[in-house]
Amino acid sequence: MRYLVTGAAGFLGTNLCLRLLQSGHEVLGIDNMSSAYEPNLQMLRQNPLFSFEKHDIVNKLPHLGKFDFIYNLACPASPARYQRDPVQTFRTSVWGVWNVLQYALPCKTPIFHSSTSEIYGDPLEHPQKESYWGHVNPVGMRACYDEGKRAAETLLFDFSRKHSHPIKVVRIFNTYGPHMDPKDGRVVSNFIMQALEGKPISVYGDGTQTRSFCFVDDLMDAFLLVEKSASDPASPINLGNPDEYTLLQLIETIEQILKKKIKRKFLPLPADDPKQRRPDISIAQKIGWNPKVRLQEGLKKTIEHFKGLNAYSKR
């Protein structure tokens, strides 16, 4: 098959491209490189089945030929990066989706769209089901991402109903693993890099807020299952590990792996930061998916990956 992957040089995009290439598929990646990790792109370009187009999907897509399937993963996902240019983040979520839909429409190319657990905001329902409409501050510092993704879902489902266009929408919960950018500002990469560098770990709030951490290999398994599943435009699908940990428990697990005590540096909790996050994955389980990798196992693999990076070895 021939795939188009937007956001191909990012964390999830790179892992997805690797999976598709390993299965012998042809992949054309798109990325504007604003929040991408350059070593990921260098690695992907070593495979002759991979080609790359530097492009911002906020602008109309150039003619790239026909594809059997499109994965739309383009958008910065860490608060530090999506808040850097909030207007561009919102445009990527909404205008970017519109441009992908317009490209896919003539051939009715199926679209897989990566939405996010952030559409639930600081949830009042726990765990979060796909039927929960969320608790989002529409004018807060995180709204560019939260509301951008919510608007993108609206556009996708309305477009699908109007044009009978095949879509798959997944809501991704916290994911970690190899090929993360060590400086992307997400909690797992921050904690690991600070621990490896011997710095105090920055904890925003008191550390009792919870997250559900999914190892990226499990998420890629889910992506491919959703791709092959029967289309159900009536609902997005939660993808995440339902095991729930406080941030302090995450630090303790890193300490166990590294076999050393790590200092904590407590900082004010950012505005609208969710207090708890845990997916209900009943719909994903119906198509045969359950995450398998436990937190300690996944963190070990991630830490080993970070240890091998030039960015770390030269420090």
DSSP-assigned states of every residue in 222-249:
HHHHHHHSPP-TT--EEES----EEHHH
Residue 261 lies inside a defined structural domain of this protein: no
Residue 63 lies inside a defined structural domain of this protein: yes
Pairwise pLDDT comparison (35 vs 63), residue with the higher score: 63
- pLDDT > 90 in the chain, percent: 88
Residue 304 lies inside a defined structural domain of this protein: no
Nearest to 214 by CA among 310, 143, 284, 147: 284
Residue 159 lies inside a defined structural domain of this protein: yes
- pLDDT of residue 231 exceeding 90, the answer is no
pLDDT attached to residue 315 = 38
pLDDT band at 20 (very low <50, low <70, confident <90, very high): very high
pLDDT attached to residue 144 = 94
| CA–CA distance, 110 with 68 (Å, rounded to integer) | 7
Residue 249 lies inside a defined structural domain of this protein: no
- pLDDT of residue 170 exceeding 70, the answer is yes
Mean pLDDT of 204-231: 94
* Mean pLDDT, the chain, whole residue set: 94
Sign of the torsion angle spanned by Cα atoms 129, 179, 225, 153: positive
Residue 12 sits in a domain whose CATH number is 3.40.50.720
- pLDDT of residue 110 exceeding 80, the answer is yes
pLDDT attached to residue 254 = 97
Mean pLDDT of 256-262: 96
- pLDDT of residue 184 exceeding 90, the answer is no
pLDDT attached to residue 312 = 44
Residue 308 lies inside a defined structural domain of this protein: no
| Residues labelled as active-site residues | 145
- pLDDT of residue 229 exceeding 50, the answer is yes
Q: Which is it for strands 264-267 and 50-54: parallel, antiparallel or unpaired? A: unpaired
pLDDT attached to residue 197 = 94
Pairwise pLDDT comparison (80 vs 177), residue with the higher score: 177
Q: Which two tokens stand for residue 9?
A: 């040089």
- pLDDT of residue 234 exceeding 80, the answer is no
* Secondary structure percentages of the chain, helix, strand, coil, to 5: 40, 15, 40
- pLDDT of residue 185 exceeding 90, the answer is no
pLDDT band at 36 (very low <50, low <70, confident <90, very high): confident
pLDDT attached to residue 68 = 98
Sign of the torsion angle spanned by Cα atoms 105, 67, 73, 290: positive
Q: Could you report the per-residue pLDDT of 51-96, keeping only the tens digit for each?
A: 999 999 999 999 999 999 999 999 988 788 888 999 999 999 999 9
Residue 60 lies inside a defined structural domain of this protein: yes
| CA–CA distance, 80 with 201 (Å, rounded to integer) | 17
Pairwise pLDDT comparison (292 vs 233), residue with the higher score: 292
Mean pLDDT of 226-246: 88
Residue 311 lies inside a defined structural domain of this protein: no
| CA–CA distance, 314 with 75 (Å, rounded to integer) | 29
Nearest to 69 by CA among 15, 17, 124: 17
Range of the domain at 19: 2-180+214-242+275-292
- pLDDT of residue 195 exceeding 60, the answer is yes
pLDDT attached to residue 233 = 59
- Overall number of domains in the chain: 1
pLDDT attached to residue 313 = 42
